[in-house]
Amino acid sequence: MVSGETRKADDASVALAVSTVIFALRRDEASGLATVWLPLVRRIREPFDGLWALPGGPLGAAEDLATAAGRTLGETTGLIPGYLEQLYAFGNADRSPGPRVVSIVYWALVQSEEAERASVGENVQWFPADDLPALAFDHNLIVDYALWRLRNKMEYSRIAHAFLGETFTLTQLREVHEAVRGRPLDPANFRRFIEGSDAVVATDQRVTGTRHRPPRLYRYNTSIDLADQGPLSRLNERREP
Amino acid sequence: MVSGETRKADDASVALAVSTVIFALRRDEASGLATVWLPLVRRIREPFDGLWALPGGPLGAAEDLATAAGRTLGETTGLIPGYLEQLYAFGNADRSPGPRVVSIVYWALVQSEEAERASVGENVQWFPADDLPALAFDHNLIVDYALWRLRNKMEYSRIAHAFLGETFTLTQLREVHEAVRGRPLDPANFRRFIEGSDAVVATDQRVTGTRHRPPRLYRYNTSIDLADQGPLSRLNERREP
DNA sequence: TCAAGTAAGGGTCATTACAACCCTAAGTCC
DNA sequence: GGACTTAGGGTTGTAATGACCCTTACTTGA
């Protein structure tokens, strides 16, 4: 008959971790097509010593969850995401051998240029999101879910610009959608769709030096953004069958 | 450079709680219209002593998160939900005075008849979801978010039957949608929509004793359900702007 | 200097989803 | 038997979407 907010868990050995699935796009030199990649971190202790895992770490004492996700991501990979949203809390009793771990997982997007700059070494590497090796814990499941959320959300939301810089052409924006959704989109229809939603604002600049008609540069319409995540805003989710 | 899955939080005083927002429909005697209600539990200790709060409790040592949500819900309210899904993990550092609490919140639906049977007393009461008093912690925010998720999901998903019994008429199903979405729906269009999706299967039974043409009873098409929650199934979410 | 090549950017048209609306069917009630 | 009520089926107009076409404006190569 009592709300349990302030009771402690009976078993104090439940550890709380925060992890982040962060995506960037990479262009394949051969085909010219972009695909979705993510950085993973090699574990250097048991369990799953030597396997690849999501970047993450423990929750700081006075730290919000999203802050912890950003901080641990930065500490392990050096990346600063342009978009960050809670994905799911994974806490099945059998998801980890040894002591019980509940992971609150975030998913994030980062610009390609930013991704290039980030530290990569023996213990941090980028992998193609739909062709991963066996990961530590239930992290394959987590990545699959995050990838599905990304694809789903790309269809109704305005997150694509988090993969791009300040300004971009509609073709670049279309290529982001094509990379995530995995199929080509009609350029004319895409243009009409984007300009119909006021997701984007035309600048008066154009890209010169291409071998064709110079495309106009666009900027994201930040007057709609406001807050973009979680329970504070209703701008961020929509459907699934 | 290390995945933090098995490290403990620096501050062991972070408590992990599981709470549930559970909705049922109630028909207003006067207007005949149904609205969304939820049960709350009165707190009997500090902080927020005497205020109403969501049912919940601590996570058991070897217990999955959803199991803990169902268990604590049953212990405090006696309700057994027909639908249960994770909502969000609330963990802002300032969401509770005193020791740090991270709450993993679930949302659930229960049949009206089941809701009637459940224990109600001085410390458990039902409230209309749109018109709540000031609740303990950030629970007003949580309920608002859950309500928004319910309304959103009702538009693309097949969860409405969780408010109803084994069999039901299309008018009953339509009234559920109307109650949640808060506006009347065209009966003919609704019928076509539902029969077009194979969400529902006609039985050969009809309801007799009404003062009009006897309506056919339907049953939900369980061959599509399979799993319905979380990362294990892709059947459960969709859009938001 | 000019033709070929390429993507930008604007348009049309057929198909489809959906909302508004109408009409008949099949019971009960008086 | 006639009025009343909801079930349940149909039609029509409109908006959204995909497939496709055409012109524009630049670069490149002959």
Identify the band that residue B56 occupies on the pLDDT scale cut at 50, 70 and 90.
very high
Q: Is pLDDT of A233 > 90?
A: no
Q: Is pLDDT of A142 > 50?
A: yes
Q: Is pLDDT of B139 > 60?
A: yes
Contact with chain A for residue B226, Cβ under 8 A = no
Cβ distance of A76 and B3 shorter than 8 Å: yes
Residue B17's closest chain A neighbor by CA? A5
Q: What is the mean pLDDT of residues A18-34?
A: 91
Q: Is pLDDT of B226 > 50?
A: no
| Closest in B1, B41, B96 to A41, CB measured | B1
Measured in angstroms, what separates residue B236's CA from nucleotide C9's C1'? 38
Q: Please tell me the predicted confidence (pLDDT) of residue B122.
A: 86
Residue A15's closest chain B neighbor by CA? B8
Q: Please tell me the predicted confidence (pLDDT) of residue B1.
A: 41
Residues within a 7 A CB radius of strand D: A 186, 188-189, 193, 196, 208-214; B 169-171, 187-189, 191-192, 195, 206, 210-216
Q: Please tell me the predicted confidence (pLDDT) of residue A229.
A: 59
Give chain A as a DSSP string.
----TTSPPSSTT-EEEEEEEEEEEEE-TTT--EEEEEEEEE--SSSSTTSEE--EEEPPTT--HHHHHHHHHHHHH----SEEEEEEEE--TTSSSSS-EEEEEEEEE--HHHHHHS--BTTEEEEETTS--PPSTTHHHHHHHHHHHHHHHHHHSS-GGGGS-SEE-HHHHHHHHHHHHTS---HHHHHHHHHHTTTEEEEEEE--SSSSSPPEEEEE-HHHHS--SGGG-SSS-EE--
CA-based nearest distance A50→chain B, Å: 11
Q: What is the mean pLDDT of residues A135-141?
A: 97
Identify the band that residue A31 occupies on the pLDDT scale cut at 50, 70 and 90.
confident
CA-based nearest distance A49→chain B, Å: 10
Contact with chain B for residue A122, Cβ under 8 A = no
Measured in angstroms, what separates residue A189's CA from nucleotide C14's C1'? 15
Contact with chain B for residue A234, Cβ under 8 A = yes
If one compares A21 and A32, the residue with the highest pLDDT of the two is A21
Residue B1's closest chain A neighbor by CA? A76
Q: Is pLDDT of A193 > 80?
A: yes
Residue B103's closest chain A neighbor by CA? A5
The CA-to-CA distance between both ends of chain A, in Å, stands at 36
Q: Please tell me the predicted confidence (pLDDT) of residue A232.
A: 59
- CA B42 – CA B122 distance, rounded (Å): 8
Best mutation target among B5, B22, B102, B144 (most A Cβ atoms within 10 Å) is B5
CA-based nearest distance A32→chain B, Å: 30
Tens-place pLDDT, residues A72-106 = 999 999 999 999 999 999 999 999 998 999 999 99
Cβ distance of B14 and A104 shorter than 8 Å: no
State percent of chain B over pLDDT 90: 75
**Do the Cβ atoms of B6 and A47 come closer than 8 Å?**
yes
Q: Is pLDDT of B240 > 90?
A: no
pTM metric for this prediction: 0.91
> Taking the C1' atom of C7, which residue's CA lies nearest?
A212
Identify the band that residue B241 occupies on the pLDDT scale cut at 50, 70 and 90.
very low
> Taking the C1' atom of D17, which residue's CA lies nearest?
A189
Average pLDDT, chain B: 88
Q: What is the mean pLDDT of residues B65-83?
A: 96
Cβ distance of B241 and A238 shorter than 8 Å: yes
> Which of A104-108, B4-8, B95-99, B151-155 shows the highest mean pLDDT?
A104-108
Q: Please tell me the predicted confidence (pLDDT) of residue A225.
A: 59
